Amino acid sequence: MNRYTAPLTDLRFALYDVLGADAQFARLPGCEAATRDVIDAVLDEAAKFAEQVLAPLNQSGDQEGCTFDAAQHTVRTPKGFKEAFRQYVDGGWIGLTAKEEFGGQGLPETLGAALKEMIDAANLSWGNYPMLSHGASSALEHHGEDWQREVFLKPLVSGQWTGTMCLTEPHCGTDLGLLKTRAEPLPDGSYAVSGTKIFITAGEHDFVDNILHLVLARLPDAPAGVKGISLFLVPKFKVGKDGSVGERNAAVCGSIEHKMGIHASVTCVMNFDAAQGWMVGEPNKGLAAMFTMMNTARLAVGLQGLGLTERASQNALAYARERLQMRALSGAKCPEKPADPLLVHADVRRMLLTQKAFAEGGRLLGLYAYLHEDVARHATAADERERAQALVSFLTPIVKGMLTEAGIECTYHAQQIFGGHGFIVENGMEQYARDARITTLYEGTTQIQANDLLGRKVMQLKGAGLKHFLSEIGAFCAQHASHAELAEFIGPLSAAAREWGTLTQEIGQRATADIEEMGAAAYDYLFYSGYVALAYFWARAVAAAQASAHSADFKQAKRLTARFYYARILPRTQAHLAAIRSGAATLLDMSDAQFG
Ligand SMILES: Cc1cc2nc3c(=O)[nH]c(=O)nc-3n(C[C@H](O)[C@H](O)[C@H](O)COP(=O)(O)OP(=O)(O)OC[C@H]3O[C@@H](n4cnc5c(N)ncnc54)[C@H](O)[C@@H]3O)c2cc1C
């Protein structure tokens, strides 16, 4: 047990039947190459890579972990990891979505997301190495100078080098305004970067010769706080403007962390001691540049939650079919066997259906966000690009927060379905639960996603993305208002969408009177929003399945999962609503001393 089969049927259903991604690509300039034939070929080959190369390394990688050589400051990744990376590069996967001018294949990000879900399901730890490179590439593409794109971006896209993201310091994680790393200008236009960064994923490893660290640091005259942060590219081996690779830079791994999960994804303390670096973007505007990378990474971490949900649910379902325990309450379902399979028991089905609802609904939410990223980049009309961008930016904290929290819930359900065997290492379920835990912590904790959603995306930006999303839900409900077979979903969905709008206004009014109300509401508002968004995608899934050429069983399974979602998961919104309406006082009235 510890299997993984890429969910190709559901991925195709999501891309073609629900989202119409192929039709979108056909009309978006620059995406035309992504025809159905190409998409199908990419999905099939990606599935093989995930199932046959990465999945078999997941458990062994967890058990072996990464090894640090303190004398050489080097890291050895688990057996097979380096070779898998080589295969990934040779197969052209690493540059799948990068622009052709930088050596990529220029395919849509939506397709990259489908690939990423499979990678994360197969081997979350391994997936972190290319994920960081992808983030570094997008920061360089958007904020780098021409020579930097030539010298640094191309080797990232080709997989010759990899990238990192160096934000966190011992005293600052969430609050980057506190960071102390310094950058002094040098006569040749480069900078001497000094400081310590902690928790740096893929900071040192044995996949490639050179590693490009994107480091947040302060110039000598920088203002305090987030307005005084700049972004620097600091290579492991120095690189000149002409691309020549020089001596070892003073950017070294001091130690690696021992962690609860993702053992095969190395987490480094990085020491920069007047290391040579190059500024990326403008002075004191580093955080904006880093946000390009962080937003890419936040959506990507959402997919990690989704991948784990999918893999855990596949194993739990297989186990529930095989394991015989007790009889169904209404009498034996398999009288020829000594007991019935776990699958007959209502509460086991609750857990399996929860996983199915989050996996398939979450897939739609994630791919929808990525599809709008493609629209935001490629649409010809400015207003269409603007609308798509507003939607992506609004949905990013929901994708990240909701899909990772669902990943935790669903990997726990998988363990529970395995009973005591879920606690035993060799069965693999406890690894999923351990690996899932990090996804709600890095790339901004769930609380930070919640603050971003309510504070920035809804309040500060006047809810532009929310308005677009609600009007889309409204249009969908209107379109299907007379469709009897959808009535059980359309009524509750339009009521939930109306309530979402009213609730947002209520919070806005309360926060105007007392800003603490916003912080007190944010967490519940994130979940409330996530559950309503998933309700929208479940209604769309039923409508799309109905109109598709899929089998009657497939259509019925979509309907029954949607019915389960609306009956047993969507009502969670009401608990969040009540918590929000209870106001900030229940959280703030107790004095610090009274906490005990
Ligand atoms: C395995 C691993 C890999 C990582 N990889 C990288 C990497 O590659 N690069 C990198 O730069 N960093 C990386 N990180 C760091 C990670 O992003 C941070 O740990 C994370 O952002 C949280 O920061 P912190 O740990 O300092 O927690 P803190 O900022 O101290 O937060 C502690 C708690 O307080 C809450 N909190 C803080 N502020 C608020 C607020 N305003 N409102 C509500 N709640 C709040 C947080 O949600 C959290 O629950 C990694 C961490 C780990 C463990």
Q: What is the pLDDT of residues 508-548, one digit of tens each?
A: 999 999 999 999 999 999 999 999 999 999 999 999 999 99
Q: Over the stretch 351-410, which tens digit does the pLDDT of each residue have? A: 999 999 999 999 999 999 999 999 999 999 999 999 999 999 999 999 999 999 999 999
Residue with tokens 């206004």: 505
pLDDT at 146: 96
pLDDT at 248: 98
Q: What is the DSSP letter of 224?
A: S
pLDDT at 451: 98
361, 439 Cβ separation under 8 angstroms? no
411 CA to middle of ligand 1, Å?
A: 22
The C-alpha atoms of residue 74 and residue 68 are separated, in whole angstroms, by 6
What are the backbone dihedrals phi and psi of residue 99, each rounded to the nearest 5 degrees, phi first? -65, 150
* Residue nearest ligand 1's atom 22 by CA: 173
**Average pLDDT of the chain, as a whole number:** 97
Residue 113 has pLDDT above 90, yes or no: yes
* Residue nearest ligand 1's atom 27 by CA: 173
| Residue in 442, 443, 517 to alter for ligand 1 test, most ligand atoms within 8 A of Cβ | 442
| Residue in 199, 287, 518 to alter for ligand 1 test, most ligand atoms within 8 A of Cβ | 199
Pick the atom of ligand 1 nearest to 165's CA.
Answer: 9
Q: How does residue 461 score in pLDDT terms, banded at 50, 70 and 90? A: confident
Catalytic residue numbers? Answer: 443
58 CA to middle of ligand 1, Å?
A: 25
Question: Crossing angle for the helix pair 382-417 and 464-479, nearest 10 degrees?
Answer: 80
Q: By C-alpha distance, which of 566, 572, 544, 409 is closest to 480? A: 544
Give how far Cα 311 sits from Cα of 51, 118, 291, 404, Å. 11, 9, 30, 14
Residue 197 has pLDDT above 70, yes or no: yes
Question: Crossing angle for the helix pair 516-547 and 382-417, nearest 10 degrees?
Answer: 90
The C-alpha atoms of residue 87 and residue 107 are separated, in whole angstroms, by 19
Pick the atom of ligand 1 nearest to 197's CA.
Answer: 11
pLDDT at 275: 98
* Residue nearest ligand 1's atom 23 by CA: 173
Q: How does residue 288 score in pLDDT terms, banded at 50, 70 and 90? A: confident
166 CA to middle of ligand 1, Å?
A: 13
419 CA to middle of ligand 1, Å?
A: 32
The bridge status of strand 74-76 relative to strand 237-239 is unpaired
Q: How does residue 295 score in pLDDT terms, banded at 50, 70 and 90? A: confident
Q: To the nearest whole percent, how much of the chain has pLDDT over 70?
A: 100
* Residue nearest ligand 1's atom 24 by CA: 173
Give how far Cα 380 sits from Cα of 29, 376, 464, Å. 7, 9, 20
Q: Over the stretch 582-594, which tens digit does the pLDDT of each residue have? A: 999 999 999 999 9
Alpha carbon 75 to its chain centroid, in Å, reads 26
The C-alpha atoms of residue 395 and residue 397 are separated, in whole angstroms, by 6
Residue 356 burial (10 A CB sphere; 0-12, 13-18, 19+): buried
Question: Taking CB atoms and a 6 Å cutoff, what residues make up the pocket around ligand 1?
Answer: 165-168, 173-174, 199-201, 259, 267, 438, 441-445, 447-448, 451
| Residue in 128, 174, 404, 525 to alter for ligand 1 test, most ligand atoms within 8 A of Cβ | 174
Q: Over the stretch 227-240, which tens digit does the pLDDT of each residue have? A: 999 999 999 999 99
If you average pLDDT over residues 30-58, what whole number do you get?
A: 98
Residue 294 has pLDDT above 90, yes or no: no
Sequence-distant contacts of 185-191: CB under 8 A, at least 24 apart: 185/219, 185/220, 186/276, 189/278, 190/276, 190/277, 190/278, 191/217, 191/232, 191/276, 191/277, 191/278, 191/279
pLDDT at 292: 79
Residue with tokens 């308005």: 467
* Residue nearest ligand 1's atom 29 by CA: 174
The bridge status of strand 245-248 relative to strand 251-256 is unpaired
Query: From the CB of residue 512, how many other CB atoms can be counted at a distance below 10 Å?
Result: 11
If you average pLDDT over residues 425-429, what whole number do you get?
A: 95
Q: To the nearest whole percent, how much of the chain has pLDDT over 90?
A: 97
450 CA to middle of ligand 1, Å?
A: 14
pLDDT at 1: 63
Residue 391, H or E segment: helix 382-417
SS3 call for 239: strand
Sequence-distant contacts of 237-241: CB under 8 A, at least 24 apart: 237/209, 237/210, 238/276, 239/151, 239/152, 239/210, 241/147, 241/151
Q: How does residue 284 score in pLDDT terms, banded at 50, 70 and 90? A: very high
Predicted TM-score of the model (pTM): 0.98
The C-alpha atoms of residue 57 and residue 416 are separated, in whole angstroms, by 24
Q: How does residue 251 score in pLDDT terms, banded at 50, 70 and 90? A: very high
Pick the atom of ligand 1 nearest to 444's CA.
Answer: 21
Q: How does residue 181 score in pLDDT terms, banded at 50, 70 and 90? A: very high
pLDDT at 245: 96
Alpha carbon 450 to its chain centroid, in Å, reads 15
Angle CA(11)–CA(15)–CA(18) in degrees, nearest 5?
110
Q: What is the DSSP letter of 547?
A: H
Q: By C-alpha distance, which of 442, 561, 577 is closest to 496? A: 577
444 CA to middle of ligand 1, Å?
A: 6
The C-alpha atoms of residue 262 and residue 132 are separated, in whole angstroms, by 15
Query: From the CB of residue 513, how many other CB atoms can be counted at a distance below 10 Å?
Result: 8
The bridge status of strand 67-69 relative to strand 74-76 is antiparallel
The C-alpha atoms of residue 236 and residue 252 are separated, in whole angstroms, by 7
Residue 108, H or E segment: none
The C-alpha atoms of residue 112 and residue 134 are separated, in whole angstroms, by 10
The C-alpha atoms of residue 184 and residue 127 are separated, in whole angstroms, by 34
Q: By C-alpha distance, which of 408, 430, 427, 443 is closest to 309? A: 408
Pick the atom of ligand 1 nearest to 164's CA.
Answer: 8
